[in-house]
Amino acid sequence: MSLQDNKTGQFSRRRLFGAVGTGAALVGVGAIAGHATASGAEVPTSDVVEFRGDHQAGIVTPAQDRMHFVAFDITTDSREDFVALLKKWTLMAERLVHGEETFDGGAVDGGEYNVPSDTGEALGLTASSLTLTIGFGPSMFDRFDLASKKPASLADLQHFPADNLDPRRSGGDLCIQACADDPQVAVHAIRNLARVGFGTVSVKWSQLGFGRTSSTSTTQATPRNLFGFKDGTANLKAEDPSLLDDNVWVAADDDQEWMAGGSYLVARRIRMLIESWDRTTLKEQERVIGRSKGTGAPLGQKDEFDALDFESQGPEGTFIDKTAHVRLASNENLGGVQLLRRGYNFTDGSDGFGHLDAGLFFIAYCRDPLTQFVPMQLALSRKDALNEYIQHVGSAVFACPPGVEESEYWGSTLFE
């Protein structure tokens, strides 16, 4: 199998099973299936996001509806084994995003005496715009003689005021972000990648996001977060490549050359204290955010995409409060700092105190966490009116290497 085979994107894992029947018949099919999908039916490829390119997909890709995010610990001391896993993952990931099974043979065509090479729960589903994005955590660079390659910007985030971090939801030697329009496709991908990682990596934590909270493209309607507000209005957008170059993509001379074309991912699991929020007036909610809840327009303006006006006065002072979230987070307040937000809403059972455990799994991509995320979160954690209604309970940072070119693999600029 060559990598090129996967680039056609014309076939899909999701074969239509004809009257193949019993195990005995399946052996035959497996034996002749040189290409996993050679006997498959064609499926529409419009929902395939290409895997290869200058940058990894899943960063400026228009945010898909659902997400499954996993952080791993490395459990091997062998650099060779770890690099072998990265190579295997790359092959699998490219197949998965094309809607194919992880390997030739897959769930049912590999012969009945073999362990199926794909777990099968995505059979029949389309590619669903799946993207898979890998990132390396600070602790990974303590291993494999990588210390000299560690970017200065890649360090565990400092403690911020009111942080209440759960170590079981924080950190990780590496991560994979799976985004797709069908959650079963995202979960299937993570599960199969975790599966082949057995013995080399182990799952540290994972997070399911059921709804995107940010738009990352001007082609998308702005979704709402669990506080009921439109989220992503003033986000960086895929359609503005020069802003992305300035704020998202690492440049060759920024620091470590292997990160050129990559980006840093900051993840924060933010619990929303929805019971307190739900007891406040509309006026208070809009004051806290600084925008109108219905339209998403900045306070004092009419339309969602009107510019924020931090100076003009209404009857009670500036339209946008001094502690409003959008004021403190704005590039005007932060001397030009911006980043790309790409988070998801979550709900994970109950908190044990009679409430839903729900919130925002905040994901941001930036060129340098130390000069972008950190000052922004410092400003917010000190003064944001929103702090009364949220609590940061998980934190992680990862260096996402550049996109993989033909014959490269995830992280090859670092390991070769």
- The reply to whether 231 sits near ligand HEM by the rule CB under 6 A is yes
- Shortest Å, Cβ 13 to its own copies: 12
Closer residue to ligand HEM, CB minimum distance, 74 or 364: 364
Pick out residues in 325-384 that bind ligand HEM (CB under 6 A): 325-326, 329-331, 360, 362, 373, 376-377, 380
- What size, in residues, is the chain? 416
Binder among 48, 60, 70, 248 for its own copies (CB under 8 A): 70
Binder among 132, 234, 385, 400 for ligand HEM (CB under 6 A): 234
Closer residue to ligand HEM, CB minimum distance, 93 or 360: 360
- The reply to whether 291 sits near ligand HEM by the rule CB under 6 A is yes
Pick out residues in 121-180 that bind its own copies (CB under 8 A): 121-124, 168-169
Query: Out of its own copies, ligand HEM, none, which partner does residue 2 contact, by CB within 5 to 8 A per kind?
Result: none
Do residues 57 and 50 touch, judged by C-beta distance below 8 A?
yes
Query: Out of ligand HEM, its own copies, none, which partner does residue 57 contact, by CB within 5 to 8 A per kind?
Result: none
**The 3-state secondary structure of the chain, one letter per residue:** CCHHHHHCCCCCCCCCCCCCCCHHHHHHHHHHCCCCCCCCCCCCCCCCCCCCCCCCCCCCCCCCCEEEEEEEEECCCCHHHHHHHHHHHHHHHHHHHCCCCCCCCCCCCCCCCCCCCCCCCCCCCCCCCCEEEEEECHHHHHCCCCHHHCCCCCCCCCCCCCCCCCHHHCCCCEEEEEEECCHHHHHHHHHHHHHHHCCCEEEEEEEEECEECCCCCCCCCCCECCCCCECCCCCCCCCCHHHHHHHCCCCCCCCCHHHCCCEEEEEEEEEECHHHHCCCCHHHHHHHHCECCCCCCECCCCCCCCCCCCCCEECCEECCCCCCHHHHHCCCCCCCCCCEECCEEEEEEECCCCCEEEEEEEEEEECCCCCCHHHHHHHHHHHCHHHHHEEEEEEEEEEECCCCCCCCCCCHHHHC
- Residues linked to residue 202 through DSSP beta bridges, in sequence order: 73
- The reply to whether 326 sits near its own copies by the rule CB under 8 A is no
Closer residue to ligand HEM, CB minimum distance, 76 or 222: 222
Binder among 49, 60, 289, 414 for ligand HEM (CB under 6 A): 289
Closer residue to ligand HEM, CB minimum distance, 9 or 375: 375
Q: What is the largest CA-CA distance in the chain?
A: 80
Closer residue to ligand HEM, CB minimum distance, 13 or 230: 230
What mask of x and - would describe binding to ligand HEM in positions 309 to 328, judged by CB under 6 A?
A: ----------------xx--
Binder among 84, 91, 155, 203 for its own copies (CB under 8 A): 203
- The reply to whether 183 sits near ligand HEM by the rule CB under 6 A is no
- The reply to whether 178 sits near ligand HEM by the rule CB under 6 A is no
Q: What is the CA radius of gyration of the chain?
A: 23
Closer residue to ligand HEM, CB minimum distance, 171 or 411: 171
- The reply to whether 273 sits near its own copies by the rule CB under 8 A is no
Torsion-angle region of 124 (φ positive above 0: left; ψ -120 to 50: alpha; else: beta): left
- Shortest Å, Cβ 143 to ligand HEM: 29
CA distance 40 to 50: 20
- The reply to whether 272 sits near ligand HEM by the rule CB under 6 A is yes
Where does this chain touch ligand HEM (CB under 6 A) — which range of 48-56, 225-233, 242-250, 403-411?
225-233
- Shortest Å, Cβ 379 to ligand HEM: 8
Residue indicated by tokens 């303006």: 301
Closer residue to its own copies, CB minimum distance, 23 or 336: 23
- The reply to whether 183 sits near its own copies by the rule CB under 8 A is yes
What mask of x and - would describe binding to ligand HEM in positions 249 to 268, judged by CB under 6 A?
A: -------------------x
Closer residue to its own copies, CB minimum distance, 300 or 403: 300
| 344-350 and 356-366 beta bridge pairing | antiparallel
Q: Which of 60, 38, 36 is nearest to 49 (CA)?
A: 60
- The reply to whether 44 sits near its own copies by the rule CB under 8 A is no
- Contacts with ligand HEM by CB under 6 A lie at 225, 227, 229-235, 268, 270, 272, 289, 291, 308, 325-326, 329-331, 360, 362, 373, 376-377, 380, 390
